[in-house]
Structure 1
Amino acid sequence: MNTIDAHALSALTNPIIIDVREPFEYVSGHAPTADSIPLGELVARVEELDRDNTVYVICESGGRSSQAVEWLSTQGFDAVNVEGGTSGWRNSGLPITKEN
């Protein structure tokens, strides 16, 4: 499985980041450019993703995102798991966006 850490991801220009946590987790704080597609909705919403670009998948600690990356890879996506998830992002001192 392809992986990336939070610092390397934050250095990329316009990465496509999918946050697979539940909505209440997402609104409490997420990587600034991440879009919310909860893991339970991923199969139904997969057509929202761009197959021509790498998709970086994040959750809270890496468990759900690794499941999503495995499945997306079987669907032909170049999917990468974000090591340490949002907690790793937060603990690295990177910016977090909160929804009101």
Structure 2
Amino acid sequence: MNEVSPQETQTRMKDGAMLIDVREQSEYEDVHAQGAKLMPLSEFAASYSELPRDKELVMICRSGARSAQAAQHLLDNGYSHVSNLKGGTLAWQEAGLPTEAGAS
């Protein structure tokens, strides 16, 4: 599975990639990477098919473990342009990249 840095993710988002946050609603509302779309891992199996197959998808969670599961699920189900953000939201914040709080 392809892993990307927070900086690389931000560049890819400018080129049209979607950042998908698979943490739970309360975690997302506390803080999330600017532009991230919430799709909790607990609901992922039921909702992943809503994600476009023609766009690059970068998965993010708190530290990278849950998003790796979600990325693998997408790859197993025929998605090809999928990456995992290495280090998750913690790495995004450490890199000083923009964050938001509250619901999407």
Provide the rounded CA distance (Å) in 2 between the counterparts of 1:46 and 1:66: 14
TM-superposed deviation, 1:84: 0.5
TM-superposed deviation, 1:42: 0.7
TM-superposed deviation, 1:11: 1.8
Aligned-pair Cα RMSD in Å: 1.1
Aligned to 2:37: 35
Provide the rounded CA distance (Å) in 1 between the counterparts of 2:100 and 2:56: 22
Task: Note the residue ranges of structure 2 that are not aligned, 5 or more in a row.
Answer: none
TM-superposed deviation, 1:66: 0.5
Give the TM-score normalised by the residue count of structure 2: 0.91
* Segment of structure 1 superposing worse, 46-55 or 16-25: 46-55
Matched position secondary structure for 1:33: coil
Matched position secondary structure for 1:8: helix
Provide the rounded CA distance (Å) in 2 between the counterparts of 1:76 and 1:61: 25
Provide the rounded CA distance (Å) in 2 between the counterparts of 1:11 and 1:54: 12
Among candidates 4, 22, 42, match of residue 24 of structure 2: 22
Provide the rounded CA distance (Å) in 1 between the counterparts of 2:72 and 2:52: 17
Provide the rounded CA distance (Å) in 2 between the counterparts of 1:39 and 1:59: 9
Aligned to 1:95: 98
Task: Note the residue ranges of structure 1 that are not aligned, 5 or more in a row.
Answer: none
TM-superposed deviation, 1:97: 0.6
Identity %: 38
TM-superposed deviation, 1:15: 2.0
Q: How do residues 1-100 of structure 1 correspond to structure 2 at under 5 angstroms?
A: 1-12=1-12, 13=14, 14-77=16-79, 78-99=81-102
The one-letter code matched in structure 2 to 1:6 is: P
Higher strand share: 2
The Cα offsets for residues 45-94 of structure 1, whole Å up to 9 and x where unpaired, read as 11210011111000000000011111110111121000000000001111
Aligned residues: 100
TM-superposed deviation, 1:32: 1.0
